[in-house]
A and B are shown apart, each in its own frame.
Chain A
Amino acid sequence: MSGQVDALYIYLLFVAAVMTALIFLAVTVLAIKYRRKPGVEAHQIEGSTILEIGWSVIPFGVMLTFFIWGAVLYFKERTPPADATEVYVVAKQWMWKIEHMEGQREINELHVPVGQNVKLIMTSQDVIHSFYIPAFRIKQDVLPGRYTTLWFKATKPGHYHLFCAEYCGTMHSGMGGDIVVMDPQAYAQWAAAGASAALHDTGKQLFLSLGCASCHRSDVQGRGPNLAGIFDKPVLLQDGRTVTADDNYLRESILDPTAKIVSGFKPVMPTFQGLVDEEQLNALVAYIKSLSPPAPGTAALQNAPAGAQYGNTQQQ
């Protein structure tokens, strides 16, 4: 994808260079050719509607090509593939905390296998930050109070700069790190070495210890909706709206349960705002997601034991 961004950039550079050269040339040539000479008067010209229309419509037409190509690229950048491996990112002043689904945690570094679609699910603990990987030509602001996502597929092993790109206070310029892209073998070794409890297992512990299971039952009808199989499915709310139970919905429902009450249920769920931190929230959301069948192509990840084999991921 970064190659496509560069291609678009070069196209715009070319057009801009041509336009700039034309204007510079026109001004220089005209300024010299028509410099003041004694006895020669200026020639008054009102204008030309044809020219005006021409030099409005044609540049706009060229601009439309920029728009379309740019919009298509943007659409692709903002549409993560269904089979992408998910990684949670929590930004805080002034560091990046990374949590892999298998439980590996990193600070300011993100290890990924080459050739794998990776989707980052990101939130901030405090102010707005921005996750920026110049080499991949991608960036996404990271906001408090919600998840934003960013996806990429690294194509070459190596270390690539990670920067924070939204001013966030004192050490904004120190909030950097590395994206470490590894061969699948090397990545598997790294992942095995750092494995602890898988994120969704941590989430399951929390689900039990915080008492969620007492209302959200899967055996009988409880006080709260059964959470098995709900991820990314439509949900009918009390007020008649239908929303999709995505990451942001799950997160919001834990922190602000009365915001979107499922039809047929009473507003009795307490809020967990202040009782869970961002990483615990991520674990809970990961657990609830694990209660749904995995998206096509991700089977190997979801049910894998610690130390997943990424080299075996099937083609999409």
Chain B
Amino acid sequence: MASEAIANPEPKTNYLTNGYGLKSWLLTTDHKRIALLYLISVTIFFFLGGFFAMLIRLELLTPQGDLMQADTYNKVFTMHGMIMVFFFLIPVVPAVLGNFLVPIMIGAKDLAFPRINLLSWYLYVIGGILILHCMLTGGVDTGWTFYTPFSTAFTNTKIIEAGLAVFVAGFSSIFTGLNFIVTIHRMRAPGLTWDRLPLFLWANYATSLIMILGTPVVAITIVLVAVERLFHLGVFDPKLGGDPLLFQHLFWFYSHPAVYIMILPSMGVISELITCFSRKRVFGYKFVALSSIAIAVIGFLVWAHHMFVAGISLYAAMIFSFLTFFVGVPSAVKVFNWTATLYKGSISYTTPMLYAFGFIGLFTIGGLTGLFLATLGIDVHVTDTYFVVAHFHYVMVGGVVMGYLGGMHFWWPKISGRMYPEAWAKLSALLVFVGFNLTFFPQFILGYIGMPRRYWQYPPEFQVLNVLSTAGASVLAVGYLLPMIYFLWSLRYGPIAEANPWNAAGLEWKTSSPPPTFNFDETPVVTWEAYNYDEIPPKELEVPVGS
């Protein structure tokens, strides 16, 4: 069934107009409104984390520590990491795009547990308020990784409050994961079998598995840190018979799978973008779907690759190195499948597609540098240096954030009923790509020539690369600010979007833009495969009206 273009202005009642006033938003159970609540809170934290990043890059313009004191710098990079990891990267794609799209993509009215969905947002907000208060009253200086015994017996910053913030936000994560798993299992529309599911759903499903299995481990670890600080039990402090390495095992057992929580949903977005803008089924659907599950499972088996020089045994290191190479294979498979999808496609260069291309390039580099780190002999040299910093920013910023921005542009008409300005959007995508590479590529070199991480001051020979990196960060900042501005602008002045401006496959495009509160007037019955672009005739215009 071809999409129905609704040429009229936005429908009279949609989820945005269905109820006005603060209460209708703060007590909503509509997954789409909750997604917007998350969008606002997550964006605030993104810019806060970005502000701290700017402070870091400004300090690192000169070898001396001259912009702020050492203790302040240590707090700044800690807060940058904590905010970006726990309050942006982990929730962003599932809680914003996932919450909005998962029910619609499966043809349901809402998630399985709408009130738990709202609760998950409140938990996120409570965690957010705690971390903000913690920051405003002194902050934390342990690095986002909280290593013991520094965090349990030596620092006198507000560890317990920060830990509590993360603990609470963790439950937001767990409830989202729970909701998604039950929804995807139990609420698919008639005819929507697992092998017809859009890959965005497979990705969120795999992510949800990690969320519910992994997050409790970091929660308990935080409790142990708090208990150690308060009661000196001797869990981690060797003077009391404890083991500082135990903390690292517990922490990384969650925090490694956590990075797959961050990347998998973004990979799901890329599958949606590449298929739509090549007008093709994805190449190797089953392999891409199962690779998400493989990443989730194997991702639990590699945590000690963060500990190759920490004091673990030689043989443990070898096992974890081997397994780490193993987890790289499904990610590589995805990249190959997306590239193969382009073959004999009909490709248009819209902003979402540009972000998808950027993702493929940057994630490839980020993933390959992960192999350097998995290689034991090399890791000894580059671990704890800027090489690692560059690696994880390539996969998290070059990967997760690019996927997120691509998805935001793709689904913006569906979410808001308006189109964003295409020319400005393309410019921003370019600025992001260039700025990003200029910021982080020099850091690979900095790491290999020996600059350790978390350094407030450094020897002068590292300055030139640091200056390049800071210059790149300024460009990147502009690239991120522009979408903030034009998305807001489009809410009032953007051209009104039709139901399916991209002529895309997927159930979300069969309902109006924006959708009505209960998503569909009638429960759809699915009789087609995912990405059935052979059944959807192309449109005259490549780019939607009004760019």
- Residues of chain A touching chain B, judged by Cβ–Cβ distance below 8 Å, are 4-5, 8-9, 12, 16, 19-20, 23-24, 26-27, 30-31, 34-37, 40-48, 51-52, 55-56, 59-60, 63-64, 66-67, 69-75, 77-78, 93, 126-128, 130, 132, 134-135, 137-141, 143-146, 148, 161, 163-174, 176, 256, 273
List 11 other contacts, CB 8 Å, given A16-B372, A35-B349, A70-B376.
Answer: A23-B361, A34-B343, A42-B345, A69-B377, A72-B377, A75-B314, A128-B244, A128-B310, A130-B309, A134-B381, A165-B453
Q: Using CB atoms, name the residue of chain B closest to A13.
A: B372
Contact A31 B452 (CB under 8 A): no
Q: Which of B146-154, B409-417, B514-522 contacts A (4 or more CB under 8 A)?
A: B146-154
Q: What is the distance, in angstroms, from A273's C-beta to the closest C-beta of chain B?
A: 7
Q: Using CB atoms, name the residue of chain B closest to A52.
A: B287
Q: Using CB atoms, name the residue of chain B closest to A127.
A: B150
Contact A20 B339 (CB under 8 A): no
Q: What is the distance, in angstroms, from B62's C-beta to the closest C-beta of chain A?
A: 13
Across the A-B interface, the 8 shortest Cβ-Cβ residue pairs = A145-B238, A134-B450, A73-B377, A70-B375, A74-B376, A47-B284, A43-B344, A173-B455
A170 touches which of B74, B361, B379 (Cβ 8 Å): B74
**Given A137-B380, A139-B383, are A41 and B346 also a contact pair (CB < 8 Å)?**
yes
Instruction: Please name 25 pairs of A and B residues whose Cβ atoms are closer than 8 Å in the assembled complex, sorted by A.
Output: A9-B372, A16-B368, A24-B364, A27-B361, A34-B345, A34-B347, A35-B349, A36-B346, A40-B346, A47-B287, A52-B337, A55-B333, A59-B329, A63-B329, A63-B371, A64-B325, A66-B374, A67-B321, A70-B376, A143-B238, A144-B239, A146-B238, A169-B154, A169-B155, A173-B452
- CB of B100 within 8 A of chain A? no
Contact B325 A66 (CB under 8 A): yes
- CB of B283 within 8 A of chain A? yes
Q: What is the distance, in angstroms, from B291's C-beta to the closest C-beta of chain A?
A: 9
CA–CA, A55 to B361, complex, Å? 18
- CB of B542 within 8 A of chain A? yes
Contact B365 A20 (CB under 8 A): yes
Contact A36 B347 (CB under 8 A): yes
Contact A74 B380 (CB under 8 A): yes
CA–CA, A161 to B381, complex, Å? 13
- CB of B385 within 8 A of chain A? yes
- Residues of chain B touching chain A, judged by Cβ–Cβ distance below 8 Å, are 65, 70-71, 74, 141-143, 147, 149-150, 154-155, 238-239, 241, 243-245, 278-281, 283-287, 308-311, 314, 317-318, 321-322, 325-326, 328-329, 332-333, 335-337, 339-340, 342-349, 357, 360-361, 364-365, 368-369, 371-372, 374-381, 383-385, 448-450, 452-459, 533-534, 538, 542
Contact A77 B380 (CB under 8 A): yes
- Residues from chain B with Cβ under 8 Å of A145 in the complex: 238-239, 243-244
Contact B318 A173 (CB under 8 A): no
CA–CA, A20 to B191, complex, Å? 40
B368 touches which of A19, A31, A172 (Cβ 8 Å): A19
**Given A4-B377, A60-B329, are A144 and B452 also a contact pair (CB < 8 Å)?**
no
- Residues from chain A with Cβ under 8 Å of B458 in the complex: 173
**Given A5-B377, A34-B346, are A47 and B286 also a contact pair (CB < 8 Å)?**
yes
CA–CA, A238 to B80, complex, Å? 51
Contact A71 B318 (CB under 8 A): yes
Q: What is the distance, in angstroms, from A3's C-beta to the closest C-beta of chain B?
A: 12
Q: Using CB atoms, name the residue of chain A closest to B307.
A: A141
- Residues from chain B with Cβ under 8 Å of A4 in the complex: 377
A67 touches which of B245, B280, B347, B374 (Cβ 8 Å): B374
CA–CA, A137 to B375, complex, Å? 14
Contact A31 B314 (CB under 8 A): no
- Residues from chain B with Cβ under 8 Å of A36 in the complex: 279, 346-348, 538, 542
Q: What is the distance, in angstroms, from A115's C-beta to the closest C-beta of chain B?
A: 22
Q: What is the distance, in angstroms, from A42's C-beta to the closest C-beta of chain B?
A: 4
Contact A30 B342 (CB under 8 A): yes
Contact B381 A67 (CB under 8 A): no
Interface centre among B141, B238, B457 (most CB of A within 10 A): B238
CA–CA, A283 to B190, complex, Å? 76
B360 touches which of A23, A93, A128 (Cβ 8 Å): A23
Q: What is the distance, in angstroms, from A12's C-beta to the closest C-beta of chain B?
A: 5
Q: Using CB atoms, name the residue of chain A closest to B454.
A: A167
Contact B283 A174 (CB under 8 A): no
- Residues from chain A with Cβ under 8 Å of B332 in the complex: 55-56, 59
- Residues from chain B with Cβ under 8 Å of A169 in the complex: 74, 141, 150, 154-155
B455 touches which of A67, A74, A172 (Cβ 8 Å): A172
**Given A126-B154, A145-B239, are A132 and B244 also a contact pair (CB < 8 Å)?**
no
CA–CA, A172 to B459, complex, Å? 13
- Residues from chain B with Cβ under 8 Å of A173 in the complex: 65, 70, 452, 454-458
Q: Using CB atoms, name the residue of chain B closest to A148.
A: B311
- Residues from chain B with Cβ under 8 Å of A93 in the complex: 154
**Given A165-B452, A169-B155, are A144 and B244 also a contact pair (CB < 8 Å)?**
yes
Contact A143 B357 (CB under 8 A): no
- Residues from chain B with Cβ under 8 Å of A63 in the complex: 325, 328-329, 371, 374
